[in-house]
Structure formats: C-alpha cells, structure tokens
Amino acid sequence: MFHSRKLLAASVAVFALFAGSGLVRAETPADTLVQAWAIDDIISLDPAEVFELSTSEMLGNSYETLIGYDPKDVTKLFGKVADSWAVSEDGKTISFKIKEGRTFASGNPITADDVVYSFVRTIKMDKSPAFILSQFGLTPDNVEQMVVKTGDNSFDFKMDKAYAPSFVLYCMTATVASVVDKKLVQEHEVNGDYGYEWLKTGYAGSGPYIIREWRPNEAAVLERNDNYSGEKATMARVIYRHIPEGATQRLMLEKGDIDIARNLGAEEIDGLKSNPDIAFQEGAKGTLYYFSLNQKNETLAKPEVAEAMKYLVDYQAIADTIMRGKVKVHETFLPEGFLGALNENPYSLDVAKAKELLAKAGLPDGFTVTMDTRNTPEITGMAQAIQGTMAQAGIKIEIVPGDGQQTLTKYRARNHDIYIGVWGPDYQDPHTNADTFAKNLDNSDGATAKPLAWRNAWDTKGLSAQVDAAVMEADPAKRAAMYQDMQKEILANSPFVIMFQQIEVAGLRSNVKGFVVGPSFNDNNYVYVTK
C-alpha cells in the first residue's frame, strides 16, 4: 500500500470512532467532515461498474475524468486529465493531449497509457455503465484499434460515426470514464480480470481524495490525496455514515455528531429551520423518481394497465407531504434544464378513469402485484402512498422491502414486478436519459446493453431508431423537437411512471462552508469544505 502508516492509523481510529452505533459525541474533529446518508446502494467502487448515486458522488471527489464542466453552467466544458483535443475533418476521431506532470495517488505518473487502458478496460469488462462509451462503436473486439496511444501524452478516440462532439465530451465526464492507475491495477490482476475483484473495494485514482475503506451498510472513509496535482482538499478525511433514517440524522445533526445530514425528510427539515446552529444547502438535480413495470409480467404488459397505473398516483399530494420541498412533479424522462425537456404533466389521480382502463384490460376487479422497495423512509413512504391509491381501483400491491443493493441486484436481473426508485443522468446531454428509457436494441436475457428499458423487458421498437437519429442531429432546435416527440411517446405508451424531479436538500452545521450541491451526484463537491 502506498499511503503512510501514520495516515492509515488515523483512518482506522476515526473509522472506529464513527462506525460504532452506540457512541455519542459532542462534535466532530476539526479536520474531518462527517456525513450521514443512506449508502446501502453501493455495490462496487470500480469506476467501470459504478452506476449508483452515493458511489457516483464518492468517485466524483476521488477520481478524475478526461473532461469536466462547470456545475453552475454545464455548457462550459474544460479539460481535467485532458489538456486539449481536436476533431478530425470527418468527425470520427477526437485526438486528445493530456496534461503533463500529473500523478496518481500512488505517485505513478498519469500518461496516455493509463487513459487508453482505462477505456479498454471498461469496454472489455462490459459492466452495466460500459454502454456510455460502447455506444460510439467500441466493442471488446475492436476497442484496442479504436482507442489508440499516439504518444506518451496523446491518444486518439475513434468512433463509428460522426457524433456531435459535445455529446462525446459529455460522455467523458461520466464516472465510467474515470482514469485509473494502470500500473497499480495491473499489480492486482488475477486471471486477466483487469483488477476487477480488487478494485470493487480498492482505489486507483488521482482525485483530491483517496477512498480508504468501505464497509457495506456501515460507513465509508475517504482521505485527502496529498499527491493530488490540483489544489489540495481542506479536510483531512471525509466519512460517510450509513444512517438512512431522517429522524436519526436530525438528532445527530443537532447534537453535532455529524456535519451534514443527507436524508432529512420534510418534517425534519421543518423542525430544524428555527435552529441557528443548522443551515441548508439545496440544488435542483437531474434525478428522477419513478416506478416501472416489468413487461415479463403478462398483466403489467397490458397497455391499459400501465395507463391505469399512471392515473393511480396522487403526484401532487406526495410532493406536498412526504417529499415536501424536495421534489417537483415531473412526468417526462428529461429533467428540466436539459435540451428538449418537456414540461408536461398530463397524469393526476383519477380512480374512475383507471377503473375504466382496467375493465378494458379485462381486469375489472384489479389484481395483485409486488413492488420492490428500497427501505429508506422516502422511497418507502412513496411506495405506501402509491399502494393506498392503487387499492382504490382494486390493485393490491405487496411491498417487498430491501436495502439498495438487494433491490438493485434484483432489478438488474429483471426479477421484479414493479420497481420504485431513482435515476440520475450520467452526463449533461439529453441522450443520457433517452438512451436508457427509450432505447433497447436487444430485449433478450443475454443482451449486452442493459438500460432501464431492458431491465423492464420493454421492446421500444421504433423509439430506438429515434434515439440514434437524435444524437446525430447537429441542429439544436431540431434535436430538441426529436426528444420532445420521444417523451410524448413514453408518457403515453411506456411501462415507466415518472413522478418527480429531485431538489436535493442537505442539512449542515452552520460552521460548514463550501459544500456544493451540483446538478448530478458526481458534481456534489466537498473538496473545499471548511468548518
């Protein structure tokens, strides 16, 4: 291990201090930021596999990508590992130069070899998020001919088509495009696995923080990377404590046991507003709350059933009560702020209409179905509210609770009836959500690409071609109109019931300054936090 024994000892001590459930403190250490959050969605720490919200945030603060953007103005792209880039005349190759003199946390230099290896590794391993890069025509068989080193600090990224350059660059801001330390990862390879078993719980990045340790459903520890090539982080370490209950987080925040509470409910927020020791940080996210219907279930595959269920959600009531101040009603797959976002909300609670549709489907008395539900207060609360309104039309929902890992694993295997959860964009281009909600080229169980449409066994038919056409359209106005057409189609005929767009609200001790809530979770930033 490349980090000092002194730093490791400090990490272990702090971890023990905060991981214990029965320990009470008056305040957190001055050099340590302690956050309470539901982090049970973490499945892996490997950038080639990470798709979850909490892990995306951790990687956004611990790894570097080729390209970044300004969270306050996502149209402003800039190089992180990349120094410059140029697009070929035919539009099918982007030539990158990378910054010289930069190092990984290990002390190893960052070279073009590392960047090429990172892309090749992602495509060869072919985990769920690989499609963000493979959509440019990269396959395990051709990736080594498509991503090619041209010098110690330069490489070419070749594509099968002349995609809009901005779209390609936005994809390279996603966590799956994180640059990993080739030498370090190769030292941990076993039987040609590209270091996968090691990196699931390890770290091989160059960002401001090092991921030191993760204990499932307990805590994660990050430590300042003193080899970071940019401005050093202010906090020596950041600790995530797995505390899913908003009421518990409130008490801990009031007592000073934590610095930031990430899962406060509406009641907790209201109760803290008069406390002078507490401040709030909020920001609109691209994250959507939705539930979806597995089309392998013959009942849920009936178009009338899907439409009926869209009329059996009291969207505004949930927004005003369970999720008060933390969401706004939004029923289309592109969040506000994205090119082509359609701000239409045609569905509201209408039991009579839903009953008509169920009768048309041959189900006048309703049916029984299960809903896999992550056992956080907010998701559970939404599920219970939906359960109540569905019952008014005879649909009996059995809630199947589980932690984030359990529910996601089941969802990814298409073993659910109904899944309720959240989806956050992987990058700031409309294709990110169109590609997962509207495209499904192979609906077989053995498919390589497994977007949300696939997870719900939905054959999107002609929509897939529309997604491919939109990403090639150079005219922004025409491109926006194409996405609006897709959103209307999915509103009317898809198995997705999209309900809300998130407004993330974090409760902070009033002495905590510099915490940034960005448009995506990998934009949430605590590198320059002071307290």
Q: Tell me the pLDDT band of 10, cut-offs 50, 70 and 90.
A: very low
Rounded to the nearest 5 degrees, what angle is found at the Cα of 469, between the Cα atoms of 466 and 475?
120
Q: Could you tell me how far CA 232 lies from the centroid of its own chain?
A: 26
- List CB contacts of 338: < 8 A, sequence separation 6 or more: 286, 425, 428, 429, 430, 433
pLDDT of residue 464: 97
CA distances from 128 to 123, 321, 335 (A): 10, 35, 22
Q: What is the largest CA-CA distance in the chain?
A: 70
In this structure, the number of other CB atoms found within 10 A of the CB of residue 402 comes to 15
In this structure, the number of other CB atoms found within 10 A of the CB of residue 436 comes to 23
Closest CA to 174 of 20, 64, 39, 19: 64
Strand partners, 329: 500
CA distances from 383 to 140, 188, 386, 399, 444 (A): 40, 42, 5, 7, 29
Tens of pLDDT, residue by residue over 292-325, are 999 999 999 999 999 999 999 999 999 999 999 9
pLDDT of residue 1: 37
pLDDT of residue 23: 44
274 SS3 class: coil
Tens of pLDDT, residue by residue over 246-300, are 999 999 999 999 999 999 998 999 999 999 999 999 988 999 999 999 999 999 9
Token pair 């800039």 is at which residue? 78
Give one DSSP letter per residue of 341-385, joined into a string: ----------HHHHHHHHHHTT-TT-EEEEEEEE-SHHHHHHHHH
Averaged pLDDT for residues 97-106: 97
- List CB contacts of 37: < 8 A, sequence separation 6 or more: 54, 240, 241, 242, 243, 262, 263
Best-predicted range by mean pLDDT among 46-55, 472-481, 485-494? 485-494
Tens of pLDDT, residue by residue over 214-224, are 999 999 999 99
Averaged pLDDT for residues 496-514: 97
CA distances from 526 to 66, 237, 256 (A): 20, 10, 18
- Asked if residue 332 has pLDDT above 90, the reply is yes
- Asked if residue 113 has pLDDT above 60, the reply is yes
pLDDT of residue 22: 44
pLDDT of residue 290: 98
Lowest mean pLDDT among 67-81, 241-255, 356-370, 488-502: 67-81
Averaged pLDDT for residues 365-383: 96
Q: Could you tell me how far CA 68 lies from the centroid of its own chain?
A: 16
Rounded to the nearest 5 degrees, what angle is found at the Cα of 69, between the Cα atoms of 469 and 76?
80
Query: Could you give phi then psi for residue 252, rounded to 5 degrees?
Result: -65, -40
Tens of pLDDT, residue by residue over 162-173, are 998 889 999 999
Q: Tell me the pLDDT band of 14, cut-offs 50, 70 and 90.
A: low
In this structure, is the dihedral angle defined by the CA atoms of residues 297, 303, 308 and 314, taken in order, positive or negative?
A: positive
- List CB contacts of 119: < 8 A, sequence separation 6 or more: 133, 138, 143, 147, 157, 177
489 SS3 class: helix
User: Going edge to edge, which strands form the sheet with 93-98?
Assistant: 82-87, 93-98, 154-158, 147-151
Q: What is the mean pLDDT of the chain?
A: 93
pLDDT of residue 43: 93
Q: Which two tokens stand for residue 316?
A: 């505004």
Q: Which two tokens stand for residue 205?
A: 């990045």
pLDDT of residue 15: 52
- Asked if residue 527 has pLDDT above 70, the reply is yes
- List CB contacts of 336: < 8 A, sequence separation 6 or more: 284, 330, 343, 501
Question: What's the full length of the chain, in residues?
Answer: 531
- Within 13 A of 337's CA, how many CA atoms are on the CB side? 21
9 SS3 class: helix
What domains can you pick out in the chain, each with its CATH number?
1-61+207-277+510-531 (3.40.190.10), 63-188 (3.90.76.10), 284-504 (3.10.105.10)
Q: Tell me the pLDDT band of 476, cut-offs 50, 70 and 90.
A: confident
Tens of pLDDT, residue by residue over 114-123, are 999 999 999 9
